[in-house]
């Protein structure tokens, strides 16, 4: 092939790659939330708290982290990407005398504020192809809990509880029913702490991957997690 033709092809490829990177950079925005998160209330919450048999706990953002994990091939080598944010809110009402009455508010995560070890990746995540969270329409991820399975009887401070939550998870405007594994420690009468995890498929939520230099493959499975401390109001 004529050297001049090869040169033009190389130049075009480099220009195209540069334009893609520039588009990803600007489309991802600054990552600043559009507004302060407000803790949702518990719809149809019982009134037993007034009688002293239950308490409502709110997620303490200063001690809580929502995150994701996903595998990729980066520059020819396997790599696991970790993303985290402290922009998560929600409430739970617990009656230690009857755990079956547990109720949760909507759980809300600001997807625009996820951070990994790369600002370039963060901007790509906020861009149109992945989460599109740079737009106000898809800034938030929400979980509306339908039911809890595996809770029964009563509990005391210091007990560790393992159970499941089933609910509607909405990411990028797409809603799917998801089951989360939960482990909670009743630290004392005013604090609970624990972890929530599940595995989802990004394809189920219409989450794509931009064609970026150095990234050969990205897994479909995504681990979602919440490590939280909640305090009584």
Q: What are the residue ranges spanned by the domains of the chain? A: 3-232
Tens of pLDDT, residue by residue, the chain (233 residues): 555 544 444 444 434 344 444 444 445 688 999 999 999 999 866 555 545 568 999 999 999 999 999 999 988 899 999 999 999 999 999 999 999 999 999 999 999 999 999 999 999 999 999 999 999 999 999 999 999 999 999 999 899 999 999 999 999 999 999 999 999 999 887 999 999 999 999 999 999 988 777 777 899 999 999 999 999 98
Cα dihedral 27/29/35/39 (nearest 10): 80
Identify which of 92, 106, 122, 55 has the alpha carbon closest to the alpha carbon of residue 194: 92
Domain 3-232 has CATH 1.10.150.530: no
Cβ pair 64, 126 in contact under 8 A: no
Distance CA 52, CA 38 (A): 26
176 in Cβ contact with 214 (< 8 Å): no
Q: Where are the alpha helices (DSSP H) in the chain?
A: 3-27, 119-126
């Amino acid at each position: 092939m004529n050297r001049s033709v090869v040169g033009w092809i190389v130049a075009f490829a480099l220009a195209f790659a540069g334009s893609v990177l520039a588009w990803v950079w600007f489309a991802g925005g600054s990552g600043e939330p559009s507004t302060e998160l407000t803790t949702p209330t518990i719809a149809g919450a019982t009134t037993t708290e007034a009688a002293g048999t239950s308490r409502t706990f709110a997620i303490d953002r200063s001690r809580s982290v929502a995150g994701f994990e996903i595998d990729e091939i980066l520059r020819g080598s396997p790599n696991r990407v970790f993303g985290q944010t402290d922009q998560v809110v929600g409430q739970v009402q617990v009656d230690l005398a009857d755990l079956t009455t547990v109720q949760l508010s909507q759980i809300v995560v600001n997807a625009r504020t996820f951070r990994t070890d790369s600002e370039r990746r963060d901007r790509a995540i906020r861009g149109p192809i992945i989460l599109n969270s740079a737009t106000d329409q898809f800034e938030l991820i929400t979980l509306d809990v339908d039911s809890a399975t595996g809770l029964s009887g009563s509990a005391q401070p210091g007990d560790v509880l393992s159970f499941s939550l089933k609910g509607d998870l909405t990411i990028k405007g797409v809603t799917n029913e998801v089951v989360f594994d939960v482990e909670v420690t009743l630290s004392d009468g005013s604090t609970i702490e624990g972890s929530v995890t599940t595995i989802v498929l990004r394809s189920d939520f219409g989450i794509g991957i931009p064609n970026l230099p150095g990234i050969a493959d990205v897994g479909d499975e995504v681990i979602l997690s919440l490590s939280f401390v909640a305090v009584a109001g």
